[in-house]
Amino acid sequence: MDLALFYFLILGFAVFMYVLLDGFDLGIGILYPWFESKSERDHLMRSISHVWDGNETWLVFGGVMLFAAFPAAYAGITSTFYLPIMLMLFALIFRGVAFEYRFKADRSRPYWDLAFSAGSAIAAFCQGILLGSLVQGIPEGSSMIASWHWLTPFTILTGFSVMAGYALMASSYLFMKSRSDIQRRASHLGKNLLICVVLAMLTVSIWTTIASPEIQNRWFENGHFIYLSPLPIISLFLSIGIWKHFTRHQMLSGQSEGKNDSRPFWYSAGLFLTGFIGLVVSLFPYLIPRQLTLWEAAAPDSSLTFLLVGVCLFIPLILAYTLWGYRVFSGKVEDYQEGY
């Protein structure tokens, strides 16, 4: 396999890991307004305070992998999306420090609550904007940096879609990490969010196929759709699975705490995966759609081979200790309440 393609997969993996992991913890911030009491909010924060830092590292990793393996794409994308990226960074700053300060604050706690929830929501929205503008394509030419092409009805839609998706992940994560009242609320929110997410996925898919003939061809020419049909079908089954699990839990009125509480989380992760694969199918092999392919943007072999050792050696190791970290704090939040 050629190196550029390998790094494309690694980059995809990094982005997916980021979306999966920071997705649910940004989502916790988006759900925040639905949990009003201090103890509930404590619970929400505690469910992620030991992992948010690691989760966000995948964002840095995605950034530097793009920088290292595809410098031309990194230069193009980051400078073109100057404002949404900066806005996202400001938002991430606020929510990041809120983790440290909220628990130590007395009078200023409402501000940190706001910093956390607004920061999470804005960061997620900006990521949705970035995603949407990548899909719709960047106008060519040097004036592209100055334009506002990233702010269109479509990108605003994708912005809200990503927020809904993250919130869905968060509600299923919360469902896994809590009991009784909070768990009930999580499943209730989860069902509403699932509807939003399914609608969003449908709208975005239809919109892109109508707006972009290239993407339309990719999906519907030469019987491609037959090979690609598992993606929507699996998504459908996963959505039904999440719905059923939440509904059953509500009917049992929360009596069934136990082994299966993590199931909606894995299902919604699966839903993200199918959406993500669908996106890659639509855009491949472009890093900047219809301008720059992954081969054109790839760094020279001297850089790619040097990095190869590190990638092959350390990514498995990172996954191993990350998993260990999650296992140390497995179970419900109440079970590891001690701070430091």
Q: Is 226 exposed, middle or buried (0-12, 13-18, 19+ CB in 10 A)?
A: exposed
Using the minimum distance from each CB to other proteins, give the nearer residue, 74 or 267: 74
Nearer to other proteins, 110 or 230 (CB): 110
Q: Does 340 bind other proteins (CB under 8 A)?
A: yes
Taking CB under 8 A as the criterion, which residues in 145-204 touch other proteins? 145-146, 179-180
Site string for other proteins, 20-49 (x = CB under 8 A): -----------------------------x
240 near other proteins, rule: CB under 8 A: no
CA distance 331 to 187: 17
Nearest to 20 by CA among 266, 290, 239: 266
284's tokens: 């491949």
Q: Which of residues 66-125 bind other proteins (CB under 8 A)?
A: 67-69, 71-72, 74-79, 81-83, 85-86, 89-90, 92-94, 96-97, 99-101, 104-105
Distance CA 214, CA 237 (A): 28
Residue-wise burial string across 30-53, b where 16 or more C-beta atoms lie within 10 A, e elsewhere: bbbeebeeeebbbbbbbbbbebbe
CB nearer to other proteins: pick between 139 and 325: 325
Span 123-142, contacts to other proteins by CB under 8 A: 142
Give backbone dihedrals phi and psi of 288, rounded to 5 degrees, phi first.
-115, 110
Q: According to the binding rule CB under 8 A, does residue 334 interact with other proteins?
A: yes
Residue with tokens 């509500």: 250
Say whether residue 64 binds other proteins (CB under 8 A): yes
**Contact between residue 124 and residue 27 where contact means Cβ atoms under 8 Å apart:** yes
**In the window 312-331, what residues touch other proteins (CB under 8 A)?**
314-315, 318, 321-322, 324-325, 328-329
Choice between 95 and 219, CB closer to other proteins:
95
